[in-house]
A and B are shown apart, each in its own frame.
Chain A
Amino acid sequence: MTTIRAAFLPLTDSAVLVAAREKGFAESEGIQLDLVRTTSWATLRDRLVYGQVQAAHMLAPLAVAVALGLSQQPAALAAPFKLNINGNMLVMTADFAAALDPDLPSRLADPLAAAHDFASAIGLYRRKPVIGVVHRFSSHALSLRYWLASAGIDPDRDVVLRVLPPSLMVEASRSGEIDGFIAGDPWPAAAIEQGLVEAVALGARIWQRGVEKVLAFRTEWMEDNAATIDRFLAALTEAARWCDDPANRAELAALLARPDYVDQPAAIIERGLQGLVIPRASAAPIEVPDFLIFNREATAFPWRSQTLWIYSQLVRWGQVKPSRAAEQAAASVFRPDVFRRALGASDVAMPGASMKLEGAVSAPIGVGAYRGALTLGPDRFFDQRVFDPERVADYIAGFDVPR
């Protein structure tokens, strides 16, 4: 038995790691998986960077930021496996959502209109809206900024973005510290359930196949333990399949609900797994089939184009100075080569390429794969832009940076 310690945050998208441990997928590959619950992303990052744990359930942009030296001690991090796609929701208190379309399904269906409605109301609030984000370097912060800016809102000037760990968002909404927040399941759902907030936008409708959590290692440790990594990724693949199977949702929700994992009611967690979004307390649920994805469409495959998209946004917001070296460092965080090596002999559908145009697929499409049939779902950004990873600078130049 090899022991791997992995740090995670209490979120529904820690499911693949939890299932790998609790359903014995890790054990049957000879891995004893110890899960270390952590409250803040800063602590999770430090535990990984300084070797207290070997693996971490990490925000993809945080892994990129650490590799670029933007977040504390710079370290070479590698992400050979994605743990999920999507799962985030932007919610606001009723006061701050009052300017938005009161018809909730149509509000959620049209993020562009919602952003413009919010922009036109900003002057009417008596102060800058305070919106909670889980970390400066999170997919949440990047998609929120993208959404705000689409309506001409400067996220650094017109609103206050306050960093709070996901599990504190509900309490901060109750105490009036924040007017809304964007976080992963089940925290927005829990805040809605308690009548504190209502849904404003879904991560899955801002970018239909948004990159979310990855499994991150220190590059050095990953290279030194190649055989273990291969077995670990095989175990996680089985776990991800199990998590995506509708037959297992109730059991998975019950597992995640335990106090040592997410510690929230199983019913709320299960709803998220089913892709049901209740946009306001006691409103009818809306079906969002791609609300949170664990396995289908090669979820786990770390497309290099996706780290480059993250890089493009860090540059866009002035968090990193554009350079060839930085672009390469960002691109090398995702490791499709390790994924291919580890799972090459398995029955996992293996994409033929390691980069793709992001945002170009509007209906499910079959793509080139070495083995198995691979269908990619629609991956549009709500503003219809397409990200070409070969032309990052042009893409960045295409945004009006509002300042």
Chain B
Amino acid sequence: MRIVIVDDSGLRASVLEEGLREAGYDDIHLVPPRGAFVAQIERMAPDVVLMDLGSPSRDMLEEMLLVSRALAKPIAMFVDRSDEAMIGAAIDAGVSAYVVDGLRKDRVKPILDLAVRRFNAFARMAAELNEARTALADRKTIDKAKAILMTNRGMSEPDAYALLRSTAMNQGLRIVEVAEALITASSLLGDQA
């Protein structure tokens, strides 16, 4: 069973590909949606095409499938048309499936199920990564503010942190916001922290 994943995001595509391989599919191809990708897919003759719902290339691919249908190839789109719940889940997860062989829709359902799970997992992963990045950036800012207090006011590190924290609490701000304000003020005053 040949599966083509059309995706711009290398990470998302590889999360999906990995899942499909674990599930025992091995004829998987990644195609970035650029240039003559539709012709490329046509040559590959896939059984299933998976694509990110937000991809601007969806219209092109759908058009190609319609035209191919006119050439009497058996084509169904968006998996089994009657399974609205499945399609709803796919839309929520951000995946759209194009099934290039209407007769084998039963074989396609597990793939779409898997794709939905992997797309959701990717969304979680992306959110966590983003959070981790923010946390790291916050810590750097706070460290810099602590260094300013330690240098300019001769405070110990725990005292510097305690001052930032109590200021934040008093002003109803996050510690990182107080730290940012301190760094800005310090640079305005020309301190070399």
Complex CA–CA separation, A50 to B145 (angstroms) = 51
Q: Is the CB of A135 within 8 A of B59?
A: yes
Complex CA–CA separation, A152 to B86 (angstroms) = 46
Q: Assess whether A43 is interfacial by the CB under 8 Å rule.
A: yes
**B84 contacts which chain A residues (CB < 8 A)?**
50, 73
The segment out of A160-168, A364-372, A384-392, A395-403 that lies at the interface is: A160-168
Q: Which residue of B lies closest to A168 (CB)?
A: B56
Complex CA–CA separation, A155 to B68 (angstroms) = 17
Contact bitstring B45-82, A, C-beta under 8 A = 1, else 0: 00000000111111110110010000000000110010
Complex CA–CA separation, A46 to B81 (angstroms) = 12
Q: Assess whether B24 is interfacial by the CB under 8 Å rule.
A: no
Q: Which residue of A lies closest to B87 (CB)?
A: A50
Complex CA–CA separation, A42 to B84 (angstroms) = 16
Q: Assess whether B96 is interfacial by the CB under 8 Å rule.
A: yes
Q: Assess whether A52 is interfacial by the CB under 8 Å rule.
A: yes
Q: Assess whether B88 is interfacial by the CB under 8 Å rule.
A: yes
> CB < 8 Å: which of A46, A51, A136, A167 contacts B63?
A136
**B77 contacts which chain A residues (CB < 8 A)?**
72
Q: Assess whether B27 is interfacial by the CB under 8 Å rule.
A: no
Q: How far is the CB of A46 from chain B (nearest CB, A)?
A: 6
**B56 contacts which chain A residues (CB < 8 A)?**
39-40, 164-165, 167-168
Given A73-B78, A73-B81: A163 in contact with B59 (beta carbons within 8 A): yes
**A134 contacts which chain B residues (CB < 8 A)?**
59
Complex CA–CA separation, A344 to B92 (angstroms) = 38
Q: Assess whether B91 is interfacial by the CB under 8 Å rule.
A: yes
Interface residues of A in 224-255 (CB under 8 A from B): none
**B78 contacts which chain A residues (CB < 8 A)?**
46, 72-73
Interface of A: prevailing SS: loop
Please give the number of chain B residues whose Cβ is less than 8 angstroms from any Cβ of chain A in the complex. 21
Chain A interface category by residue count = 20 to 34
Q: How far is the CB of A128 from chain B (nearest CB, A)?
A: 15
Given A50-B84, A136-B63, A136-B66: A40 in contact with B58 (beta carbons within 8 A): yes
Q: Assess whether A41 is interfacial by the CB under 8 Å rule.
A: yes
Q: Which residue of A lies closest to B85 (CB)?
A: A50
Q: How far is the CB of A365 from chain B (nearest CB, A)?
A: 39
Q: How far is the CB of A6 from chain B (nearest CB, A)?
A: 16
Given A43-B53, A72-B78, A136-B66: A52 in contact with B59 (beta carbons within 8 A): no
**A177 contacts which chain B residues (CB < 8 A)?**
35
> CB < 8 Å: which of A40, A51, A73 contacts B59?
A40
Complex CA–CA separation, A43 to B95 (angstroms) = 10
Complex CA–CA separation, A72 to B66 (angstroms) = 10
Q: How far is the CB of A390 from chain B (nearest CB, A)?
A: 32
Q: How far is the CB of A251 from chain B (nearest CB, A)?
A: 29
Complex CA–CA separation, A163 to B58 (angstroms) = 10
Complex CA–CA separation, A47 to B87 (angstroms) = 10
> CB < 8 Å: which of A39, A41, A136 contacts B54?
A39
Q: How far is the CB of B136 from chain A (nearest CB, A)?
A: 26
Complex CA–CA separation, A38 to B53 (angstroms) = 10
Complex CA–CA separation, A46 to B77 (angstroms) = 12
Which interface residue of A40, A42, A167, A177 has the most chain B CB atoms within 10 A?
A42
Q: Which residue of A lies closest to B81 (CB)?
A: A73
Complex CA–CA separation, A46 to B88 (angstroms) = 9
Interface residues of A in 5-50 (CB under 8 A from B): 38-43, 46-47, 50
Q: Is the CB of B92 within 8 A of A52?
A: yes
Complex CA–CA separation, A73 to B83 (angstroms) = 10
Q: How far is the CB of A142 from chain B (nearest CB, A)?
A: 15
Complex CA–CA separation, A263 to B68 (angstroms) = 34
Q: Which residue of B lies closest to A175 (CB)?
A: B35
**A168 contacts which chain B residues (CB < 8 A)?**
56
**A72 contacts which chain B residues (CB < 8 A)?**
62, 77-78, 81
What are 9 contact pairs spanning A and B, CB under 8 A?
Answer: A39-B55, A40-B56, A40-B58, A41-B59, A42-B58, A42-B96, A162-B60, A164-B59, A164-B60
